[in-house]
């Protein structure tokens, strides 16, 4: 299936595996790329050297195009961009809007720039700065999310920009892909669906928690970092929501120390990131620290399997997923379902005309 997205990035299918921290590593990304979709490597939890090694590992596993997700506000964003350029990465995606300068640097090197947005005005801004495409996540999506549903946000953005739009939030099958195409999108991005594959390195016990979850087990909370965060309901989430400021601050400091050990961040760098996050938002300093070290909460679950000590970002679509296919099986199934749905719609559209056509009825 060829769309503006497949032509832009050079993949066979209009499907994107999102850059999930601690989840979207070389194994998942390369499996996605080999299946013909666009895999996105998550780099926010890596040092610059680890990022380069991860890119090389993906390269050793596949020659297919793939991307890297970057934090536009990271102090070393320029160094990370240089890794992408030097290693020939096809796509740079961003969770926060990249600066005009970063976009220009990437585009001049031939890297496709694909920022994620949660509002029409953000899409208009990054496209005006030169973004090649935008990924639009509605409120159904996992992780940090907004309040506007994909079915409302997507057509707004499609009508507002003249670049390919990738739809995210609430997608897991071929029906969803066809629906997004009908809205004018050039493809769909899926996070939870790719997390729940046999190629994902998430521990089996954690995957089992996802598979057992219903739609009602997925919640949006501000208790983790002061921002709306969609995740699985758990005892830890309940405890964070009940915790007072003193207790929350103590937890934040302990996790900040752990994040510093894992990533090599300095306290000064963490405080700088915290001040940037706090600017313009009504967050306490304990929430700022929690936001700065939310990666450790994700790591506890997604890497260590400690669902009692970590959080599990999850889209609402979790409640619709009940199996663990390989990436190849998943992509093949989604595309087959999409073709089947398109075929039914074509028959519905052609049916009355075919019945009235004398040559057909003869």
Rounded Cα–Cα distance for residues 28 and 330 (Å):
12
Q: What pLDDT sits at residue 264?
A: 63
Q: What pLDDT sits at residue 224?
A: 82
The per-residue b/e assignment along 213-239, b for 16 or more CB within 10 angstroms, e otherwise, is: beeebbbebebbbbbbbbbbbbebbee
Coil, strand, or helix at residue 167?
strand
Q: What is the mean pLDDT of each run of 10 residues along the chain (362 residues)?
A: 98 98 97 98 94 98 98 90 97 93 96 97 97 98 95 98 98 98 98 98 98 97 86 91 69 66 65 58 63 79 92 97 98 98 95 59 44
Distance between the two ends of the chain, CA-based, in angstroms?
34
Residue with tokens 């990436």: 327
Q: Would you list the domain boundaries of the chain?
A: 4-201, 205-316
Q: What pLDDT sits at residue 361?
A: 47
Sign of CA dihedral 211, 216, 220, 225: negative
Residue with tokens 């519905």: 348
Q: What pLDDT sits at residue 11?
A: 98
Of 236, 235, 345, give the one whose Cα is nearest residue 297.
Answer: 236
Q: For domain 4-201, is the CATH number 3.20.20.70?
A: yes
Q: Identify whether the C-beta of residue 232 lies closer than 8 Å to the C-beta of residue 318.
A: yes
Distance set, CA 212 to CA 48, 97, 241, 320 (Å): 37, 35, 23, 10
Q: Identify whether the C-beta of residue 2 lies closer than 8 Å to the C-beta of residue 9.
A: no
Q: What pLDDT sits at residue 201?
A: 98
Rounded Cα–Cα distance for residues 170 and 176 (Å):
8
């Amino acid at each position: 299936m060829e769309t503006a997205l497949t032509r832009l990035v050079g993949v066979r299918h209009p499907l994107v595996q999102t850059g999930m921290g601690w989840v979207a590593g070389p194994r998942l990304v390369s499996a996605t790329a080999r299946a013909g979709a666009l895999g996105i490597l998550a780099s926010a939890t890596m040092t610059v050297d680890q990022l380069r090694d991860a890119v090389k590992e993906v390269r050793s596993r596949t020659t297919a195009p793939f991307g890297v997700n970057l934090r536009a506000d990271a102090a070393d964003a320029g160094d990370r961009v240089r890794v992408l350029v030097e290693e020939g990465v096809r796509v740079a995606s961003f969770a926060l809007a990249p600066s005009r300068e970063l976009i220009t640097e990437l585009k001049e090197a031939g890297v496709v720039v694909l920022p994620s947005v949660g509002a029409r005005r953000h899409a208009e801004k990054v496209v005006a700065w030169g973004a090649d495409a935008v990924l639009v996540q509605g409120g159904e999506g996992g992780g940090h999310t907004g309040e506007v549903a994909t079915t409302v946000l997507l057509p707004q953005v499609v009508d507002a920009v003249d670049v390919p739009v990738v739809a995210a939030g609430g997608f897991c099958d071929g029906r969803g892909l066809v629906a997004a195409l009908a809205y004018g999108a050039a493809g769909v991005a899926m996070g939870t669906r790719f997390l729940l594959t046999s190629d994902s390195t998430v521990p089996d016990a954690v995957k089992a928690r996802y598979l057992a979850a219903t739609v009602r087990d997925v919640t949006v909370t501000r208790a983790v970092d002061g921002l709306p965060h969609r995740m699985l309901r758990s005892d830890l989430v309940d405890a964070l929501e009940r915790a007072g400021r003193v207790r929350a601050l103590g937890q934040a400091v302990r996790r900040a120390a752990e994040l510093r050990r894992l990533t090599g961040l300095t306290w000064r760098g963490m405080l700088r990131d915290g001040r940037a996050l706090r600017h313009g938002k009504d967050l306490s300093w304990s929430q700022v620290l929690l936001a700065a070290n939310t990666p450790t909460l994700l790591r506890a679950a997604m890497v260590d399997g400690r669902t009692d000590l970590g959080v599990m970002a999850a889209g609402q679509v979790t409640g619709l997923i009940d199996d663990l296919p390989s990436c190849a099986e998943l992509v093949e199934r989604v595309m087959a379902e999409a073709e089947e749905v398109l075929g039914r719609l074509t028959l519905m559209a052609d049916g009355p005309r075919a019945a009235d056509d004398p040559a057909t009825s003869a």
